[in-house]
Structure 1
């Protein structure tokens, strides 16, 4: 518990340090109200994708289809929103579009979860395959183009504000609280951690690990579905490659946030703080005029360095424990 809180404290210090650094390098642009507001509109999309990735990684798996599943969900939603029915019945059309979006997101989660849990295929292989499947379906539906012409009210979800606070950040905060309660304070959340630590032992302890895993990938799908709503609303259109960069960024945030890539360890707070760090770095470098591809290189470099440091730390900790046991046995 102590190490968990120390990790979050370290991330908070890093976030403050990077925020201050970017503020010094470009005070007029970075600290402008417009830029802060823009980050508050963008970060929830990224954060929801990161939570979708985190819960899969907690079980020792991964979900490489979060962005293409989100795109497919938004495309199905877009067909309804751009239909003549929605143009004549805005409120009902939006409600039906949102229901369809979340239904597709859940179906994507069920497909991943069922194959991983009940058939037993490795999560990386399953979600790599479903990533291609969802992307292919999206391209087939849109012919590679975008779908637009949504009711004006729909744009509120991704661009609107409540009492001056961007609606996406309000939704994001609600999801963070719900995710914390479900993952870290519920019986199901305990099962998720147990599966990540040792799936076989958890199964023999009487827990239905297959059902637990299925729920994990459904929840992951729901999170990416919510992200897709914000993305399509912000752009006022839907396309297969919208949000595609979030997949790599989500993995980076999850690992940086302290979630073990082998499963069993990690916190929602750590992931949220890591999302904020990556968002500030990305926005700050963009303001400083750094090429977008260089930003991707930096993101990939951060991921490699963090993974390497975590591995080295784990090896050193294991060696220390072995020496302690040897010393205790010698006595």
Structure 2
């Protein structure tokens, strides 16, 4: 087995092409502007990426199972509202660590509960995940608007700034949270029974049922865990923005799907790894930051992301066509 085959077996076939493209992006923007490789820009990227990264992890597992979670943004926001409500009850800016821990626990409970409800409807009713998550998205949006009357909730304790803007040994705290979550996701998918069940359900849910797998419990857990990671994203957003609003992060929904597909997640489920998705996130963030530094319109990055996705799908299709021809020739 060659070194490339070993890397593909451990990290996925998408890893090497994504690493090459990441190096190309960094080289191109470093030549285009001297500001790209500065510590300030890299630090800014490291602070911006984690929220999108956490939401992408929340989207990743439902897609692996052959579904989708369109409610991730509003699950994050409603979880942030739960945290904010507890902090306000305990004095807002004067709330202590205990209040924050209680609020974070309530936030995760809110995220897990909303996810479990979606998973239960998908598993026991048989409704399509897109429709179920869309209904949950609309419900949470309306509930959040009702609770906040369309405004913001702000006035949090100063120690929350550490979670949103602090650093540990030079690494932004939000990035540490994201990297820890990504490691946990990798271990869960590759080393646990639940991870094996996720891939089985995504590959063929009927065959999984016939093999004795409890697919209903697996689906409920998939969406509940997705809700928990949404809650963590909501907590980080609250610390980053020092406020909670129902509309925070609305533009990130489709970007999370884009990152999953760029990272090699099969849109029909059953195949994909965490590391290529993390690399895809870094590429998307580098493209956004680089285009901003060279003075491009901020909406141009979205167009570039779309073109990049089309190019990746075309290359992937061409690679599959070549492999098929080789097999036929053999």
Per the normalisation by structure 1, the TM-score is: 0.91
Q: Does 1:250 align with 2:256?
A: yes
Kindly tell me: are residues 317 and 134 of structure 1, through their superposed partners in 2, closer, same or farther at Cα, counting changes over 3 Å?
A: farther
How is 1:33-48 mapped onto 2 (pairs within 5 angstroms)?
33-48=39-54
Checking the alignment, whether the CA contact within 8 Å between 1:58 and 1:193 is kept in structure 2 is yes
CA RMSD of aligned residues (A): 2.1
Q: Distance in 2 between matches of 1:133 and 1:307?
A: 34
**C-alpha displacement of 1:221:** 1.0
The answer for unaligned runs of 5 or more in structure 2 is none
> Is the partner of 2:202 in helix, strand or coil?
helix
How is 1:118-133 mapped onto 2 (pairs within 5 angstroms)?
118-133=124-139
CA deviations over 1:126-150 (Å, ceiling 9, x no partner): 1111111111111111111111000
**C-alpha displacement of 1:163:** 2.3
Match of 2:211 among 184, 192, 205: 205
**C-alpha displacement of 1:206:** 0.3
Checking the alignment, whether the CA contact within 8 Å between 1:68 and 1:240 is kept in structure 2 is yes
Q: Does 1:69 align with 2:38?
A: no
Match of 1:269 among 275, 283, 296: 275
Q: Distance in 2 between matches of 1:152 and 1:14?
A: 40
How is 1:1-331 mapped onto 2 (pairs within 5 angstroms)?
2=8, 5-27=12-34, 29-307=35-313, 310=316, 316=321, 320=325, 324=328
The answer for unaligned runs of 5 or more in structure 1 is none
Q: Distance in 1 between matches of 2:228 and 2:315?
A: 32
Q: Distance in 2 between matches of 1:124 and 1:320?
A: 36
Checking the alignment, whether the CA contact within 8 Å between 1:138 and 1:240 is kept in structure 2 is yes
Checking the alignment, whether the CA contact within 8 Å between 1:86 and 1:92 is kept in structure 2 is no
Q: Distance in 2 between matches of 1:182 and 1:190?
A: 9
**C-alpha displacement of 1:204:** 0.3
**C-alpha displacement of 1:82:** 2.9
> Is the partner of 1:245 in helix, strand or coil?
helix
CA deviations over 1:116-168 (Å, ceiling 9, x no partner): 11211111111111111111111111111111000111121111112222111
Checking the alignment, whether the CA contact within 8 Å between 1:86 and 1:93 is kept in structure 2 is no
**C-alpha displacement of 1:267:** 0.2
Q: Distance in 1 between matches of 2:305 and 2:297?
A: 13
Q: Distance in 1 between matches of 2:239 and 2:90?
A: 18
> Is the partner of 2:12 in helix, strand or coil?
helix
Per the normalisation by structure 2, the TM-score is: 0.91
**C-alpha displacement of 1:95:** 1.4
Checking the alignment, whether the CA contact within 8 Å between 2:163 and 2:173 is kept in structure 1 is yes
Checking the alignment, whether the CA contact within 8 Å between 2:90 and 2:99 is kept in structure 1 is no
Checking the alignment, whether the CA contact within 8 Å between 1:40 and 1:169 is kept in structure 2 is yes
